[in-house]
Amino acid sequence: MKLKHSLFSRRQFLNGIIGGWLGAFLASLVYPVVKFIFPPYQEPDEVILPFSDFKDMRPNSVRSFAWGSKLGLVKKNDDDMYFAFVGVCTHLDCNVAYLNEQRKFFCACHDGWYDENGINIGGPPPKPLRRLTLIIVQEELIIQKESPEGNS
């Protein structure tokens, strides 16, 4: 039945109310499911390592550490300066290796190349390796998410 001045019939109104309620109810069931299936993951703000583990590194070499659940790399340059990278290729997430003879980072998955400063120079990687801030305070290496200035 359609009333004279009504925009919709009683049937449409009821269908809308019940259907809308049912939709909201189902959404309230789906919400916890979606929340549940994504585990909480937070990238660490900083990682603190004993400097003694890295003191004996030879110049032009890298040593790995855990940056959350990703590979982190500490690199010692020829001038005895330390740098830190996230050792994950920016192309498709493979872990990279440092080839010290060629002074390059190499990703074996799709033949990606980065120079010794982590800048992408060949192959598919679209971006440089992610840099982390590295500070040496007394006997500790403090590695943090990169800030605009960077390193030491």
Partner 1 sequence: MRKGIQSWLDERFGLTGITDFLTKKTVPIHKHTIWYYTGSAILLFFAIQVITGFMLVLYYKPTLEMANASVARIMTDIPLGWIIRSVHSWSASFMIAFVFVHLLSIWIAKSYRRPRELTWMSGVLLLVISLLFGFTGYLLPWDDLSFSATKVGTDIPRAIPVVGAWVTNLLRGGEDVTGDTLTRFFGIHVCMLPVFLFILLAIHIYLVQKQGMSLPLEAEGKQEKVKEIPFWPNFVFREMIVWLLLVGILFSIAIFFPPSLEKAADVMAPAPEGIKPEWYFLFLFQTLKIFPAHVLFISGEMLAVLLMIFAGVLFFFLPFFDNRPTGTKGKIITLLAYVFILYALIMSVWSLL
Q: Which is nearer to partner 1, 40 or 148 (CB)?
A: 40
Rounded Cα distance, 57 and 64, in Å: 11
**What's the N-to-C CA distance of the chain in angstroms?**
79
From CA 137, how far away is CA 152, in angstroms rounded? 11
Distance CA 42, CA 115 (A): 29
Residue closer to partner 1 (CB basis): 30 or 92: 30
Nearer to partner 1, 22 or 81 (CB): 22
Residues 6 or more apart from 123 whose CB is under 8 A from it? 91, 107, 110, 111, 112, 113
Minimum Å gap between C-beta 15 and partner 1 is: 13
Under DSSP, the state recorded for 25 is H
Residues that bind partner 1 (CB under 8 A): 32-33, 35-40
User: Token pair for residue 110?
Assistant: 């799709």
Instruction: Give min distance, CB of 39 to partner 1, in A.
Output: 6
**Least distance CB 42 / partner 1 (angstroms):** 11
CB of 33 to partner 1, least distance (A): 7
Name which of 3 and 33 has its Cβ closer to partner 1: 33
